[in-house]
Amino acid sequence: MGTPLSPGVAVCSLCGEPLNAKGDCLACLLRSGLEQSGVKTKRSALVFGDFEVEQDAEGQYRELGHGAIGITYVAADKVLRRRVALKVIEVPAAARGSQAVRERFLREARAAAALRHPNVAAVFQFGASPDGIHCYYAMELVEGETLGTRVRRDGPLNAKEGLKIAIQITRALMAAAAHDLIHRDLKPSNIMLTTESEVKVIDFGLAKAITDASGEMDLTHGEFVGTPTFASPEQFRSGPVDARSDIYSLGATLWFALTGLAPHFGKTLEEIRDRKTRDDLPVAQLAGRNVPEPLVKLLRSTLAIDPGERPASARELMEALESCRRKLTRRVGVPYEEPALRNEAFARALTDARACASDPESLQALFDMAARKAAAVPRKPFKENWAYLQTMLRLIRACHRGEYHQVSDDALLWIIAALKYLVDPLDLIPDKTPFLGFVDDASVVELVKEKTRRTLDDFMKWETTAR
């Protein structure tokens, strides 16, 4: 059947073909590539308490993910008849049968089950197999994808998206803090992004509670459990961790979201640990992605090696994130990375202006509103634009009263559009641009000025003469 063998050539115990120099069977290895991806016959039911793991058309258990500490399946709740995400964890041998471990798991599980928050995937039920080998808990089945999947598919997020996600994760951490619960394994694959772009943090506390329970899971035993890339430096040491560990992991997750890379990585646990505790943060990665400075500063603080140098709590982190968001918004006036949206808004304003120009009542209403808002807005921060707006209002007033006629229909349209853009930002731009906040919106401002400069100059000359 096979190739004639030289004396002494080892053969595969499974198929009788000769082994290669490494002792592997090439034929078996090639056949594996030709195998069907699964056994087509239906497999035996995998049941944990009230939950039965779903199988796909090929009879494979439907997995949502698997990590170092367990497998998450799609399962059916046979009692309540709903689909859930079922995490099944094999309890470490050292922890089986331990009353202390069981009590700790129950304590954590109750806390996790009590945690109800829009940004946390709810835990419905938990239990253990009769032999104590497996623990499991059923969670809300979140439709969507993980942050890790999103970034790997679409590339890094921009600062605004990253901040939005970080803020929602922090809300989840604040809710958890109220239950004395910490996550301990925050990472991109534990952040679900729903189809409505909401964040749901999954696996709160429970998974690590079980696996850490034997108390001897450290590097010296080669049994670090979880995802070292996103773990805090203190998680590599034995001993308790607190909420600041989650804050570090959130920082590493946000870093990944903004760059597509983890701040520290390596081939071994030791290498990752050493880099986390020794190396400077590779901030060049952030610069390469044009991450704004306030966000870089925030990442530096969340990723401080010493927990004492990080935000002390989720609440403190939230304040830092909100401050960061304010700085970014202020820095660029209107929503910072959405020039296209602003241009679109102005284009809409221009279209609206045509209708407005032909309807005296609408024009009067716009004029009144613009005058009212202009009067209410402090002059100083927007000095140049404020003066510009006042000139436009005077021009419209003069036109309206029939005192001034030297304005072309086209120029009038541009002026009306500029007014609409300025006074109706709430309607035009979903992000609620602050009134006159177009101070840095160079593209729109320059466009309007270019189109109206001569008209306004002529008008101001007329004003001078008329007086």
Which residues are at the interface with other proteins (CB under 8 A)? 1-4, 6, 10-15, 17, 19-21, 23-35, 37-38, 61, 66-68, 71, 90, 92-93, 133, 222, 224, 228, 267-269
CA angle 334/338/341 to nearest 5° reads 100
Shortest Å distance, C-beta 13 to other proteins: 4
Q: Give me the least distance between CB of 206 and other proteins, in Å please.
A: 19
Nearer to other proteins, 12 or 76 (CB): 12
DSSP for 352-385, please give it: HHHHHHT-HHHHHHHHHHHHHHHHHS-SGGGHHH
User: What is the closest distance, in whole angstroms, from the C-beta atom of residue 305 to other proteins in the complex?
Assistant: 21
Measured on CA atoms in the order 62, 66, 69, 74, is the torsion positive or negative? negative
CA 32 – CA 360 distance, rounded (Å): 78
User: Which tokens go with 457?
Assistant: 């100059």
Residue 176's H or E segment, with its range, is helix 159-177
d(CA 245, CA 225): 15
3-class secondary-structure state, position 420: helix
Instruction: Pick the closer one to other proteins by CB: 212 or 441.
Output: 212
Cα gap 427→272, rounded to integer Å: 50
Least CB distance to other proteins at residue 157 (A): 23
How many Å apart are CA 21 and CA 123, to the nearest integer?
51
Rank residues 233 and 294 by Cβ distance to other proteins and give the closer one.
Answer: 233
The H-assigned helical ranges of 213-268 are 243-259
| Residue placing its CB nearer to other proteins in the complex, 224 or 382 | 224
What is the distance between the alpha carbons of residues 19 and 443, in angstroms, rounded to a whole number? Answer: 69
Quick one: DSSP state of residue 444?
Answer: H
* Nearest to 183, CA basis, from 91, 268, 115: 115
Instruction: Say whether 55 sits in a helix, a strand or coil.
Output: strand
State whether residue 83 is helix, strand or coil.
strand
Rounded to the nearest whole angstrom, what is the least distance from the CB of residue 3 to other proteins in the complex?
7
Give the Cβ contact number of residue 441 at 10 Å.
22
88 vs 374, beta carbon nearer other proteins:
88
Tell me the catalytic residues.
185
Helix H or strand E segment including 146: strand 144-146
Q: Which is nearer to other proteins, 37 or 465 (CB)?
A: 37
Minimum gap (Å) between residue 276 Cβ and other proteins: 15
* CA 248/CA 300 separation, integer angstroms: 10
Q: What are phi and psi of 252, to 5 degrees?
A: -65, -35
Shortest distance, position 231 Cβ to other proteins, whole Å: 11
Cα–Cα distance for residue pair 432/451, rounded to 1 Å? 26
Nearer to other proteins, 15 or 355 (CB): 15
The distance of closest approach from Cβ of residue 311 to other proteins in the complex, given in angstroms and rounded to an integer, is 29
* Alpha carbon distance 245, 363 (integer Å): 58
